[in-house]
Amino acid sequence: MPSSPLPKTYDFKSTEKRIYQWWEEHGYFKPSNDPNEPGFDPSFEPFVISIPPPNVTGELHLGHAMFVSMEDLMIRYHRMKGIPTLWVPGTDHAGIATQLQIEKALAKEGLTREQIGREEFLRRTWAWKEKYGGIITQQIRRLGASCDWTRERFTLDPGLSRAVREAFVRLWEKGLIYRGPRLINWSPGLKTAVSDLEVEYSQEPGKLYYFKYMLAGSESEFIPVATTRPETILGDTAVAVHPEDPRFQQYVGRRVVVPILGREIPVITDEYVDREFGTGALKITPGHDPNDYAIGERHNLPVISVLDEAARVNGNGGPYAGQDRFEARNNLWEDMRSAGLVIKEEPYLLNIPRSQRGGEIVEPMISTQWFVRIQPLAEAALQAVRDGRVRIIPERFTKVYYNWLENIEDWCISRQLWWGHRIPVWYCQACGEVIVAREDPTNCPKCGSEELVQDPDVLDTWFSSGLWPFSTLGWPEETPDYRYFYPTSVLETGYDILFFWVARMIMDGLEFTGQVPFHTVYLHGLIRDEHGRKMSKTYGNVIDPLEVMDELGTDALRFTLLVGSTPGNDTNLSIDKVEANRNFANKIWNAGRFVVSALNTVAGQAILDKAEEANLRTLADAWILARLAELERDVERLFQSHQYGEAGRQIYDFFWSEFADWYVEIAKLQLAGGGARAFATARHLVHVLDTSLRLLHPFTPFVTEELWGHLKATAQKASPALKPAPGWEESLICARWPEPSQPAEWETQAVADFSLVMEIVRAIRNLRAEKNVPPGRRIPAMLVGGERTEILQQQAATIAALAQLDAQALEIVESQTERVEGQVTLVVGSVEIYLPLGGLVDVAEERARLEKELDEAEAQISRLEGLLAGPFAEKAPAPVVQKEREKLANYRDTADRLKAQLQSL
RNA sequence: GGGCGCGUAGCUCAGCUGGUCAGAGCGCACGGUUCACAUCCGUGAGGUCGGGGGUUCGAGCCCCUCCGCGCCCACCA
């Protein structure tokens, strides 16, 4: 570390990269107890997190910044506790997202993937991945992520691909995977099936179309029907009415004619039909509507598909064949209008299903796909959370989790894409045998034919993501990593992927490894803009974390995200907040600069023994040590209960408004005299700063590491006696986490005594501001201390300095009765303060001020008297009552003194 | 149709198992160029903790209800 004088302002730009490289090169991110190294001890319990793998070709956004900050915080905390800690990084191939990127790039060349073929397409995609795949991991490094990059994984790695295949085959062998035609969500833009979760519904204005289903053989009789998708009329195979609906009884069992096509279909009854809605009669299109599909099954209705994979009308659509679904909708409706079949159309708010990725309207279609029979897996996953093997934080999400798993439908896992894990199934062209295999087969086990064709589809990306916590550790191999680090400890991610990812990992973990994949699920919220709006390009309110880091530093961004969030709740982020925390980083830096320079002034001092040091301990010393001890306990408790934000806030408050604002100011006085006291003070400064840096390190790793290095170098040079209790480890990242101590009696006393000093100082400062006494002007004062006189005498220099009193003209006495003209009187509990301000004093003003204070004191007195006279005194716990009694005594004391003052005015 | 979250100083938000918790940052007002920091220091104004009811000696914190935002799940044509 350079020993050159520290710059006035913390220069994060020159620091962050250097520090990160140093950490990474020194191997600090690797677990301390590595099962692959000699000397491995399996009795240590490790702390492990698997990173939520970002899209391999993605770019950093605030969501990443959030989870990286949060996970790095947990990781650094455990690492500092001396626990073998592993954070496994990696990326996801992100089937649809990546494939869309490549197709977009192709389109710029005027090409489609079909034109270049599967092989070429995959070649290009891999090339793209090689080119851009490192960007996101570099960006994650910038955030300070202390992941073990030597264990980085990618979902399409050979090892993970083997895991995927193993998982598929096992499920198949257990009969939990099947293939067949089902009604699925079809994305016509992407030309693939998508799962229920990948469909998002949006409210959009549309129309409800009313028309006539003419009874077969009748020119006049009809059943009125309403639909939002007229083109599906082409696939209708029934009209349903409610069995008890008198309006349509006469038609039940008869047949109606499909408009334009002329097909005859039955009129049936089904309880599902809502008599109140629309016309009370429902057209049934089993081929293109999930409800209709279910009704069709109940009534054995034929299923007619009328759309092709691009959502154009197919051969079943008669004259509309070849037309786009919306074009066909209009044309059919116009033709029906001409045929006199139209009743009316009215505006209607639709719930439109759209593809999460592509954005286009998803079409329910019959399609042959692969599915996972999910109920058995879901049951186990429910049980794991119910019995506490997996704990979800915040707890309210367990209900959401239960609700989803209890109503789960089979999972469509095949995608008609090219980028992903190919389904390990082959079809024998000779005998039709279906071969599901771990290794690519060369010939048919049944007929021996070599004419095998592999299923063209790939698996849903989330199929491989579900295996992530164990596939990254080597599963299905029993590797040392898998044996030691699995199951992992915490799964930290946004609540928006609870179903997509978290639930599936739990299901898969239990199914394939027989264990829960992690013990704790910590869910954070979404990052929104400063007014709570979703960030989006169209609003133009997107905050780019990279820009923020460039301008304000990584520590500032991390601290803002960590302290600004509570588990499971969304966070509103504004640049103002990051700026405030940039200032905090600078505050840390400057407090550090002060301590470093203080150390230089005490260099070479004789070492003090314990007794000497205890002798020299001032009230301020005792106070800051007491507050620090309390902070350590609070932070530990808050970390244990996952209240990281609150912990950060407390450290911030302690550091800025207690250590920097008060102790450092007093330390200046204690240092000024030199000698043993100065040396003892320096020790305390080192101790408090050192401990604060340790506590802050998981939040703001860069500035703390950098400063700690300087502190250590300077302290070691100054005196061996300055070494702190846990010791100077080789770097802060691996330094020991402060061990909280038991609360001690002296702490309470020190805090109470020092707060009297603070109150006195504040009262005087307050008055100076009120009376416009110029800052810097030293004024005389007399303090009448009563029973606190001794403390005041000891603290005279401190009070004088902080309140800018004239130390030469500061009198401290036990009691005083006479009053001098031109004095202002302040009352702080049992202490009276006389400030001779001469001409600045106005008797009427003084009277008013004292009366106001007396009113306040008396109001408190009567409130407390009432309280203590009531049932409170008997029912509340003794310490609580005692506290209130003391308050009352204090207020009475104050009131008495105020009265006396008023009298003498 | 279910479920959940939020509503605390002008703004953005903290407030652990109910007992100085009525707080922070920003903003605002006033005053400050002394050797850690103007990315700073000191002082101050500002809120019946959404409304109403209840439990309790005591409630932002628990219960009920109402109002206003937001989100998730769900097959209403």
Contact of A544 with A199, CB cutoff 8 Å: no
| Dist. CA A287–CA A365, nearest whole Å | 6
In single-letter form, the type of residue at position A104 comes to: K
* C1' (B2) to CA (A401) span, angstroms: 15
* C1' (B11) to CA (A657) span, angstroms: 23
Over residues A64-85, mean pLDDT: 96
Tell which residue, A257, A286, A259, A258, has the closest CA to residue A270: A286
Q: What pLDDT, in 10s, does the model give residues A684-695? A: 999 999 999 999
* C1' (B74) to CA (A869) span, angstroms: 57
* C1' (B54) to CA (A860) span, angstroms: 28
Asked whether the predicted pLDDT for residue A207 surpasses 50, the reply is yes
Q: Is the ipTM of this complex over 0.90?
A: yes
Over residues A37-53, mean pLDDT: 95
pLDDT at position A674 is: 85
Q: What pLDDT, in 10s, does the model give residues A847-870? A: 888 888 888 888 888 888 888 888
Asked whether the predicted pLDDT for residue A612 surpasses 90, the reply is no
Contact of A509 with A470, CB cutoff 8 Å: yes
Asked whether the predicted pLDDT for residue A903 surpasses 70, the reply is yes
In single-letter form, the type of residue at position A429 comes to: Q
Count of positions (residues) in chain A: 905
Q: Of all residues in chain A, what percent carry a pLDDT higher than 90?
A: 69
Which residue approaches B41 most closely, CA to C1'?
A661
In single-letter form, the type of residue at position A340 comes to: G
* C1' (B67) to CA (A521) span, angstroms: 35
For strand B, give the nucleotides within 7 A of a protein CB. 2-6, 11-16, 19-20, 24-26, 30-32, 34, 36-44, 56-58, 72-77
- Nearest-nucleotide field for A10 (CA, C1'): B39
- Nearest-nucleotide field for A399 (CA, C1'): B3
- Nearest-nucleotide field for A582 (CA, C1'): B39
Which residue approaches B31 most closely, CA to C1'?
A769
Cβ count near A821 (within 10 Å): 9
Which residue approaches B12 most closely, CA to C1'?
A530
- Nearest-nucleotide field for A890 (CA, C1'): B20
* C1' (B35) to CA (A6) span, angstroms: 15
Asked whether the predicted pLDDT for residue A561 surpasses 50, the reply is yes
- Nearest-nucleotide field for A197 (CA, C1'): B73
pLDDT at position A219 is: 87
| Dist. CA A192–CA A87, nearest whole Å | 35
Q: What pLDDT, in 10s, does the model give residues A739-758? A: 999 888 899 899 989 999 99
Asked whether the predicted pLDDT for residue A3 surpasses 50, the reply is no
* C1' (B33) to CA (A774) span, angstroms: 15
- Nearest-nucleotide field for A281 (CA, C1'): B77
- Nearest-nucleotide field for A592 (CA, C1'): B36
Residue A314 backbone phi and psi in degrees, to 5: -95, -170
Hey, is A215 helix, strand or coil? strand
Angstrom distances, CA of residue A888 to CA of A851, A853, A874: 19, 15, 17
Q: Which contiguous run of DSSP H or E holds residue A789?
A: helix A789-794
> Looking at the whole model, is its pTM more than 0.80?
yes
Tell which residue, A74, A181, A12, has the closest CA to residue A737: A74
Hey, is A765 helix, strand or coil? helix
Kindly compute the dihedral angle of the four CA atoms of residues A884, A890, A894, A895, in this order, to the nearest 10 degrees: 50
Contact of A280 with A273, CB cutoff 8 Å: yes
pLDDT at position A367 is: 92
* C1' (B15) to CA (A371) span, angstroms: 48
- Nearest-nucleotide field for A566 (CA, C1'): B14
Which residue approaches B5 most closely, CA to C1'?
A569
- Nearest-nucleotide field for A227 (CA, C1'): B77
pLDDT at position A817 is: 65
Angstrom distances, CA of residue A15 to CA of A555, A577, A701: 11, 22, 11
pLDDT at position A2 is: 37
Contact of A369 with A297, CB cutoff 8 Å: no
Tell which residue, A437, A484, A548, A554, has the closest CA to residue A86: A484
Q: Using CB atoms within 10 A of its CB, is residue A754 exposed (0-12), middle (13-18) or buried (19+)? A: buried
Q: In this predicted model, which residue has the larger pLDDT, A213 or A530? A: A213
Tokens encoding A601: 């002034």
Over residues A25-32, mean pLDDT: 95
Q: In this predicted model, which residue has the larger pLDDT, A846 or A796? A: A796
* C1' (B46) to CA (A165) span, angstroms: 64
Q: What pLDDT, in 10s, does the model give residues A400-426? A: 999 999 999 999 999 999 999 999 999
- Nearest-nucleotide field for A8 (CA, C1'): B37
Residue A66 backbone phi and psi in degrees, to 5: -65, -55
- The overall average pLDDT reported for chain A is 91
- Nearest-nucleotide field for A570 (CA, C1'): B5
Contact of A680 with A613, CB cutoff 8 Å: yes
* C1' (B62) to CA (A496) span, angstroms: 30
Which residue approaches B32 most closely, CA to C1'?
A775
Asked whether the predicted pLDDT for residue A821 surpasses 80, the reply is no
Q: What pLDDT, in 10s, does the model give residues A214-265? A: 998 888 899 999 999 999 999 999 999 998 888 889 888 899 999 988 899 9
Confidence of residue A4 (pLDDT cuts 50, 70, 90): low
Confidence of residue A1 (pLDDT cuts 50, 70, 90): very low
Contact of A804 with A875, CB cutoff 8 Å: no
Contact of A412 with A193, CB cutoff 8 Å: yes
Tell which residue, A262, A300, A256, A307, has the closest CA to residue A282: A256
* C1' (B7) to CA (A406) span, angstroms: 32
Confidence of residue A549 (pLDDT cuts 50, 70, 90): very high
In DSSP terms, A453 is beta-bridged to A427
* C1' (B35) to CA (A580) span, angstroms: 26
Which residue approaches B38 most closely, CA to C1'?
A583
Asked whether the predicted pLDDT for residue A545 surpasses 60, the reply is yes
Asked whether the predicted pLDDT for residue A567 surpasses 90, the reply is no
pLDDT at position A568 is: 87
Over residues A650-659, mean pLDDT: 94
Angstrom distances, CA of residue A718 to CA of A128, A683, A721, A849: 55, 11, 9, 51
* C1' (B77) to CA (A229) span, angstroms: 9
Nearest-5° Cα angle at A554, A597 to A730: 50
Q: What pLDDT, in 10s, does the model give residues A480-509? A: 999 999 999 999 999 999 999 999 999 999
* C1' (B28) to CA (A834) span, angstroms: 32
Q: Which contiguous run of DSSP H or E holds residue A224?
A: strand A222-227
